[in-house]
Amino acid sequence: MLPRSLTWVTAHDGARLVGFVNIAWDGGAHAFLLDTTVHPDWQRRGVGTQLVQAGIRATREHAGVEWLHVDFETHLTAFYAACGFTPTAAGLLRLHP
């Protein structure tokens, strides 16, 4: 498991890794869906949705976590909405210009 990860989920075609999602945790009420990745040959087949849903289920089982956050590019809005996420406003600060 990666440091500060609550869990991670993988998808395989036999021994070949075709998808991955990581859930990081701040140690309190907030967890973060990170690094959702699906190999291009496996995209648009439901693999990403299954990975995200498995990550959500695993996060719900962890006592104390109340919120699951995800940041994503605009073209993924419909995907994450279909997974149950609600868009929110968030702040961003560039640390190094």
Could you tell me which residues are beta bridge partners of residue 39? none
* 23 is a domain residue: yes
Number of domains comprising the chain: 1
Q: What is the CATH number of the domain that holds 14?
A: 3.40.630.30
pTM: 0.88
Look up residue 94 and give its amino acid.
R
Q: Is residue 90 part of a domain?
A: no
Q: Which residues contact 33 (CB under 8 A, 6 or more apart)?
A: 21, 22, 23, 52, 55, 68, 69, 70
Q: How long is the chain?
A: 97
> Residue 28: inside a domain, yes or no?
yes
Blockwise average pLDDT, block size 10, the chain, 97 residues? 82 98 92 96 97 96 91 93 91 77
User: Where in the sequence is the domain holding 12, given as residue range(s)?
Assistant: 5-82
Give the pLDDT of residue 2: 62
Phi-psi category of residue 35: left, alpha or beta, with phi > 0 → left and psi -120 to 50 → alpha: left
